[in-house]
Amino acid sequence: MPCVSGGTLLDRNQVVIVLNPNELINLALSKNKQTIAIHSDLKEKIEMPHILVVDDSITTRTLEKNILEARNYKVTITVNGKEAWELLQKQKFSLMITDIAYARLWMVLP
């Protein structure tokens, strides 16, 4: 399956799908018809997509930030939905990465 790396079983016998963040980003960008070509001999800097990472776990958000920045994405992190919502009112982001608890919140917001 596209964007799926595997799965795991939580302590309450809940199955959780493990997603591949690189494939998710590539899929999201291709859906927006945004393409970025990076050449080693390119002299001018290409502005990479700006990604918002929303997670209350410092470990998770730091790991996600490091993975994305290693691929030269511009990353902003927030620790909760309120901060993320305030940022979304002020800035544009190419993509937002969040856990399922926050994803439920975004579905009910106007």
Structural domains of the chain in order of their starting residue, each with its CATH number: 4-108 (3.40.50.2300)
C-alpha to C-alpha distance for 18 and 11, rounded to whole angstroms: 16
Q: Give the percent of the chain with pLDDT over 70.
A: 74
Q: Which amino acid is at 52?
A: L
pLDDT digits (tens, 9 = 90+) for 73-102: 999 999 888 898 899 999 999 988 887 766
End-to-end CA distance of the chain: 31
Q: Residue 18's pLDDT is what?
A: 83
Strand partners, 97: 53
Confidence of residue 108 (pLDDT cuts 50, 70, 90): low
Q: Is pLDDT at 36 greater than 80 in this prediction?
A: no
The structure tokens listed for 54 are 């929303």
Residues 6+ apart with CB under 8 A from 86: none
Q: Residue 48's pLDDT is what?
A: 77
